[in-house]
Structure 1
């Protein structure tokens, strides 16, 4: 009598998340480590390297979210982790770098602007997370941030440092001393903190439509700016911060125009109603 073949025990499969789903969080962790390293670099007096470290963490912050959406790996954990990393890289790190570079001689008074800036950045990120669960906004409003976003706020906070490093490279020591003056850097930090927690509408550039006639000049401009970054990154950072500050009033004007158009479409034209006041005829 033939016996049935003996069944082999089933192998247990490994449980857990796939590497593709973990990749965005790993990128966020990498950006957090680079942002934290900028503080150590500033303490060692390597301010140029500290600024570049924050810039690299900003690039990673712009990529991890898009990668998560591309891989369909978005999650609530990833969103909260990204916010915590943003707070460290763009809230704590720039404030401490500026403090070590310029404000430390003023002691406790000099620590007030970094404290205000970091607190404002925490409030800004908390408001952003709370808005995820709020009622949906108008369609045009998704093209705008409420207040200056965290990476842009870090770039504006580091604007005096960009300018000072470039002045040192050009041997303009009077300009370097002026940009490193604690009153100037402290005022910049407080002004950026107010912009971050404000309700100012700022272009997000997520669904920004570019006219066909300006695509080629825009591409050429990107090439020129990339060349400036490689040739002189500190000058590129200063120019980018200046251009961003100039952009803010135009962003506000664009938001108000779109809001007025949306309100006009919602209400629609009001046509006069003709009322016949003649008495009815006798039967």
Structure 2
């Protein structure tokens, strides 16, 4: 009697759908932020975009954990990022501030920010399988990622919520600050400047417990005083950008010297140290 193999079950496994569902939720949160902005509910609009950033940060990790990564998921993630972190923050800031600039200048600046986000993600997709990525090889990112860019772009709103009444109550001042912030972030997104990625960060073993305690305190601060906490986080991240440029230059120089030393040792017939 011949044993027949059971027929294979056709269809997409659920583990491949779960991360895609999280990505779609991030997309919905970004668009919901626009809906809140149209209704003048600015705090809810910002929270919706920030929630989209949280969901975007975990969908890839869920995909790797469930072994559900796919090319479809990568493309969907990019489209979601353009909407949630390019289009949504742009429309929120246009309705809140940029529309008060003279003429059509505010809309031009809004378009610049959204286009920069789309170009950054297009560059990321084009280079996803490329071998020649010097920043990625050393654990750094090229430019700032879209979720971080959205957080930086919305920084004037954090400050306004925190310090209100403030100078940002004046529509001209508000529009000028938002325009300068948006153009700066747009440049950082499409630039070739290195920025910190998870692979470039290293934590000493002795710092593990203090770091966990700091994360707990940060979470508590976000729940009790979200706007000053977000403003401080934004400032720290902005300061980290020139630090990342300097750090990358040092790492690149050290790596280059190591390669040159090994090459010279090999030319001299000397076995380089491991």
Please name the residue that 1:144 is paired with.
140
TM-score by length of structure 1 reads 0.86
2:24 is the counterpart of 1:62: no
- Identify which of 129, 141, 154 aligns with 2:150: 154
Give the Cα–Cα distance (whole angstroms) in 2 for the partners of residues 112 and 51 of structure 1: 22
Please name the residue that 2:160 is paired with.
164
What 5-or-longer segments of structure 1 have no aligned partner? 1-10, 275-283
Instruction: Select between 236-245 and 101-110 the one with higher mean Cα deviation.
Output: 101-110
Give the Cα–Cα distance (whole angstroms) in 2 for the partners of residues 99 and 14 of structure 1: 50
Give the Cα–Cα distance (whole angstroms) in 1 for the partners of residues 247 and 105 of structure 2: 39
Instruction: Select between 178-187 and 25-34 the one with higher mean Cα deviation.
Output: 178-187
CA contact (8 A) 2:158 2:227 kept: yes
CA RMSD of superposed structures (Å): 2.3
Q: How far apart are 1:174 and its partner, in Å?
A: 3.3
Q: How far apart are 1:254 and its partner, in Å?
A: 1.1
CA contact (8 A) 1:163 1:179 kept: no
Q: How far apart are 1:113 and its partner, in Å?
A: 1.2
Q: After superposition, what is the alpha-carbon deviation per residue over 1:46-92, rounded to whole angstroms, capped at 9, x for unaligned?
A: 01001000011100001000111111111111101000000000000
Q: After superposition, what is the alpha-carbon deviation per residue over 1:157-209, rounded to whole angstroms, capped at 9, x for unaligned?
A: 000111111122xxx33354389621111011000000000011011124632
Please name the residue that 1:194 is paired with.
187
- Aligned counterparts, 1:184-223, within 5 A: 184-206=177-199, 208-223=201-216
2:220 is the counterpart of 1:224: no
Report the 3-state secondary structure (helix = DSSP H, G, I; strand = E; otherwise coil) of the residue aligned with 2:97: helix
Please name the residue that 1:233 is paired with.
226
Give the Cα–Cα distance (whole angstroms) in 1 for the partners of residues 143 and 67 of structure 2: 28
Please name the residue that 2:111 is paired with.
115
Give the Cα–Cα distance (whole angstroms) in 2 for the partners of residues 255 and 230 of structure 1: 34
TM-score by length of structure 2 reads 0.88
- Identify which of 244, 253, 273 aligns with 2:237: 244
2:175 is the counterpart of 1:182: yes
Q: How far apart are 1:105 and its partner, in Å?
A: 2.4
Q: How far apart are 1:117 and its partner, in Å?
A: 0.4
- Identify which of 24, 27, 31 aligns with 1:32: 27
Give the Cα–Cα distance (whole angstroms) in 2 for the partners of residues 41 and 141 of structure 1: 41
What 5-or-longer segments of structure 2 have no aligned partner? 1-5, 269-274
Give the Cα–Cα distance (whole angstroms) in 1 for the partners of residues 136 and 12 of structure 2: 36
Please name the residue that 2:96 is paired with.
101
Compared with structure 1, are the counterparts of its residues 26 and 180 closer, same or farther at alpha carbon in structure 2 (3 Å cutoff)?
A: farther
Compared with structure 1, are the counterparts of its residues 263 and 178 closer, same or farther at alpha carbon in structure 2 (3 Å cutoff)?
A: farther
Q: How far apart are 1:233 and its partner, in Å?
A: 1.3
